[in-house]
Chains A and B, each alone.
Chain A
Amino acid sequence: QQQVKQSPQSLIVQKGGISIINCAYENTAFDYFPWYQQFPGKGPALLIAIRPDVSEKKEGRFTISFNKSAKQFSLHIMDSQPGDSATYFCAAGYYNTDKLIFGTGTRLQVFP
């Protein structure tokens, strides 16, 4: 199976709070897990990515946590800001190819 299941579908967080988006994959051969961020009216853009040789990757306020045994990975946004309001897509694929399977997306709204 090639699906990537993403939850929640939508998320409302207050400014300064932590936003958490979860994804689960089925294909144990996948070895590349990026997150894309999409603002209204724009195309998605790569936010952060992880490979399964590490359990966590942090870039600024954004952290990916990866659980290989559970086949799950999640995006944590610390100190969420209104400017983080966007749709977030997780994806999974093979690092040495360009084929990605995308999750269904999570619409994040951060209120002041």
Chain B
Amino acid sequence: DAGITQSPRHKVTETGTPVTLRCHQTENHRYMYWYRQDPGHGLRLIHYSYGVKDTDKGEVSDGYSVSRSKTEDFLLTLESATSSQTSVYFCAISHGTSGSPGELFFGEGSRLTVL
């Protein structure tokens, strides 16, 4: 398994509270991603990062922010959680090199419930 650790693995919170999910990798991969997985929607990209302090928005970025101050850590923050953000969040990494860009290595997910 790729060295990806997500924390927390499970969290229940209330509407309006801030939440931070952490992704830690030991592979020294440059590219990191946050996806959310919802029934009927598959996997949707929230934010991604191509390096330290280099982040950009994905297709469903509203309500989320990210930070990457170290190569190994990628944080996803919900500033004020809403019930629509109840989901399973996956961190992924990739080599990011030409020739094998499509292979994403996923963490085991963080299940977030917003009441």
* A and B: bona fide binding partners: yes
Which of chain B's residues have a CB closer than 8 A to the CB of A34?
A: 102-103
Q: Complex Cα distance A44/B105, Å?
A: 8
Q: Complex Cα distance A39/B47, Å?
A: 24
Chain A 83-106: CB-based contact to B (< 8 A → 1; otherwise 0): 000000101010111111011110
Which of chain A's residues have a CB closer than 8 A to the CB of B45?
A: 99-100
Q: Complex Cα distance A34/B103, Å?
A: 8
Contact B43 A44 (CB under 8 A): yes
Which of chain B's residues have a CB closer than 8 A to the CB of A97?
A: 101
Interface residues of A in 1-37 (CB under 8 A from B): 6, 32, 34, 36
Which of chain B's residues have a CB closer than 8 A to the CB of A95?
A: 101-102
Report, as a range, how many residues of chain B touch the other chain.
20 to 34
Contact B102 A44 (CB under 8 A): no
Whether, in the assembled complex, A43 has its beta carbon less than 8 Å from a beta carbon of chain B, the answer is yes
Which of chain A's residues have a CB closer than 8 A to the CB of B31?
A: 98
Whether, in the assembled complex, A54 has its beta carbon less than 8 Å from a beta carbon of chain B, the answer is no
Q: Complex Cα distance A67/B107, Å?
A: 32
Chain B residue with minimal CB distance to A97? B101
Tally of contact residues, A, Cβ under 8 A: 24
Whether, in the assembled complex, A41 has its beta carbon less than 8 Å from a beta carbon of chain B, the answer is yes
Q: Complex Cα distance A105/B90, Å?
A: 15
Known: A96-B98, A96-B101, A97-B101. Is A45-B44 also a contact (CB below 8 A)?
Answer: no
Interface residues of A in 53-112 (CB under 8 A from B): 89, 91, 93, 95-100, 102-105
Which of chain A's residues have a CB closer than 8 A to the CB of B94?
A: 98
Which of chain B's residues have a CB closer than 8 A to the CB of A41?
A: 108-109
Min CB gap A22→B, angstroms:
14
Known: A44-B90, A98-B31. Is A6-B42 also a contact (CB below 8 A)?
Answer: yes
Chain B 30-65: CB-based contact to A (< 8 A → 1; otherwise 0): 010100000011111100100000000000000000
- 6 A-B interface contacts by CB (under 8 A): A43-B90, A43-B92, A43-B106, A43-B109, A95-B101, A98-B48
Shortest 3 CB-CB contacts between residues of A and residues of B: A43-B106, A102-B42, A102-B43
